[in-house]
Structure 1
Amino acid sequence: MPEPDSLTSPDVLTVAARFNGPPGSGNGGYVAGLLAARAPEGVATVTLRQPPPLDRALKVAAEPGGGVGLYDGELLVAEAGAELPYEVPNGPELFEPIDPVSFELAQESSAAFFGGRAQHPYPTCFVCGTERAEGDGLRLFPGLLPQRPGTTACAWVPDASLTGPDGARVRPEFVWAALDCPGAWTALGADLPVLLLGRFAARVDALPYLGDRCVVMGRLLARVGRKVRTSTTLYDGDGRVAAHAEALWIAPRESA
């Protein structure tokens, strides 16, 4: 059975063990979504300063600049605000959606993920882990599109464990989570086996419904040294843009 959902209150946030990314720490997109809910409305940008610990009460506090910080004791784990994310020189406009593919093609791309991505850095990741069971992890498997270099696609059908109080629509933090890993997999490979989420900015326009045939797209925007910039777009069951995110990833020094 899945672990209980993360516990939140106005001043405390506890990330349940179910929602890990790398072993022993929270999935960056999921934690960013929880913290963004406390930030000013609009495009929320979350910067992850430390790996978010699991099953430990973390303090949420207002920051002088108007955002919010997430603290493990006195250690700043993450901060969220309403500033716009970075711009990529000669890249697409900020928050420009990625052109979608059909759900059927996204399914084919997800199936190809297993053929070409045997080396998974975090196979128990809540979002893209290949060892997570249905109804436990999101099981998003972003395969590269041969005809579109640097672009991934995957299929996603949200299950009942992801819905809010109405039992019908996906909770926002799971939308943030779904926008996470499909970006990283645009760059991960033999020469770049591990990436860690450093900064994540997202806009959620609509919440998908339980059972929607969703498509998540990822696009590589730039790679400079150990830094990788990506974007992701979530399309709902009606083919509409439900959410979009742009991310900065960092390769650990040992994998540079």
Structure 2
Amino acid sequence: MHVVIPGRYNGPPTSGNGGWVSGLVASSTPVNEESPAVSVRLRLPPPLDRELTLDVGETTTLRDGDDVVASATAAPTPDGPLPDRVTIEQARAAEAHALSADEHPFPTCYGCGPAHPTGLRMRSGRVEGTSTYAATWTPRDDSPPEVWAALDCPGGKAAGFPATLMVLGTMTARVFTPPVLGEEHVVVSWSRGDDGRKRHAGSALLTADGRLLARADQTWIAIDAPPRDHS
């Protein structure tokens, strides 16, 4: 089948938001009882506003002509302990430490850019007295690409962005229950360590009362400084 990533779903100015694109590919990837999550590897910057080919199978691929942009397979659910519960009030307080448009390397990113006119604007900041990052999110769309996008950028912040500039390399996620439209939720994220240029993080989407709706593991890749996005 053919798909197009609309230009408004950008991460860096000229390519797709890694979480949104991963969620798009994941939504067409078959899963099973032993592997109910999906792991998506981004191999190239996802092109915007161009017809791409999505080949669905045991390994689902997103192609730009002969080039593989992303590949996805079923995977076990990310595991390991979650951070201590973060309340809505704590998450709101953490957002006070989020990046401004002047500080953000990608201010028009769909997931976390403060200058994107219709983006999610995930404003992750460190929760006081902890190593956990948190943001609030009131979804207007509960589709897989939106949920994956909400889990994406907070993980990058916990992994060290923007002190280290990085892009999403691999994301493994499972959505247990879609979020409730119009209700305020909490997205928490935490570092899972470094390995050379790779930065590992986890993120989770929870209701205001702490019920887990989705979680993800991510591997981020450190990159050289991009041109400043002034769009």
Amino acid at match of 1:132: H
Q: State which of 181, 189, 210 in structure 1 corresponds to 2:153.
A: 181
Which residue matches 2:177? 206
Q: State which of 51, 54, 74 in structure 2 corresponds to 1:60.
A: 54
Q: 3-state DSSP class of the match of 2:129?
A: coil
Say if 1:100 and 1:235, in contact at 8 Å, map to a contact too. Answer: no
Are 1:74 and 2:66 an aligned pair? yes
Which residue matches 1:157? 138
Alignment of 1:5-154 (within 5 A): 11-41=1-31, 42-62=36-56, 66-84=58-76, 94=79, 96-114=81-99, 119-133=103-117, 136-149=118-131, 151-154=132-135
For residue 45 of structure 1, report the CA deviation from its aligned partner: 0.2
Q: Per-residue CA shift, 1:34-54, capped at 9, x if unaligned?
A: 100111121100000000001
For residue 254 of structure 1, report the CA deviation from its aligned partner: 5.9
Q: 3-state DSSP class of the match of 1:50?
A: coil
Q: 3-state DSSP class of the match of 2:75?
A: coil
Which residue matches 2:191? 220
For structure 1, list consecutive stretches of 5 or more residues without a partner in the other structure.
Answer: 1-10, 86-92, 163-169
Q: Which whole-Å CA distance do the structure 2 matches of 1:191 and 1:138 have between them?
A: 22
- Count of aligned pairs between the two proteins: 222
Q: Give the direction of change, closer, same or farther, for the CA distance of 1:141–1:53 in structure 2 (3 Å limit).
A: same
Q: Give the direction of change, closer, same or farther, for the CA distance of 1:12–1:95 in structure 2 (3 Å limit).
A: farther
Q: Per-residue CA shift, 1:203-238, capped at 9, x if unaligned?
A: 100111111110000100101221100000001244
Q: Which whole-Å CA distance do the structure 1 matches of 2:219 and 2:89 have between them?
A: 29
For residue 119 of structure 1, report the CA deviation from its aligned partner: 2.2
Q: Which whole-Å CA distance do the structure 2 matches of 1:95 and 1:18 have between them?
A: 34
Q: Which whole-Å CA distance do the structure 1 matches of 2:84 and 2:11 have between them?
A: 27
Q: 3-state DSSP class of the match of 2:158?
A: coil
Say if 1:95 and 1:246, in contact at 8 Å, map to a contact too. Answer: no
Say if 1:58 and 1:71, in contact at 8 Å, map to a contact too. Answer: yes
Say if 2:90 and 2:127, in contact at 8 Å, map to a contact too. Answer: no
* TM-score, length basis structure 1: 0.81
Say if 1:95 and 1:244, in contact at 8 Å, map to a contact too. Answer: no
Q: Which whole-Å CA distance do the structure 1 matches of 2:8 and 2:189 have between them?
A: 24
Say if 2:87 and 2:209, in contact at 8 Å, map to a contact too. Answer: no
Q: Which whole-Å CA distance do the structure 2 matches of 1:22 and 1:154 have between them?
A: 21
Q: 3-state DSSP class of the match of 1:199?
A: strand
Q: Which whole-Å CA distance do the structure 2 matches of 1:252 and 1:14 have between them?
A: 26
For residue 118 of structure 1, report the CA deviation from its aligned partner: 5.4
* TM-score, length basis structure 2: 0.89
Q: Give the direction of change, closer, same or farther, for the CA distance of 1:75–1:187 in structure 2 (3 Å limit).
A: same
Q: 3-state DSSP class of the match of 2:98?
A: helix
Say if 2:87 and 2:208, in contact at 8 Å, map to a contact too. Answer: no
Say if 1:208 and 1:237, in contact at 8 Å, map to a contact too. Answer: no
Q: Which has the higher contact order (CA 8 A, sep 6+)?
A: 2
Q: Which whole-Å CA distance do the structure 2 matches of 1:34 and 1:189 have between them?
A: 24
Q: Per-residue CA shift, 1:117-136, capped at 9, x if unaligned?
A: 95211100001001023xx1
Say if 2:28 and 2:56, in contact at 8 Å, map to a contact too. Answer: no
Q: Which whole-Å CA distance do the structure 1 matches of 2:82 and 2:182 have between them?
A: 23
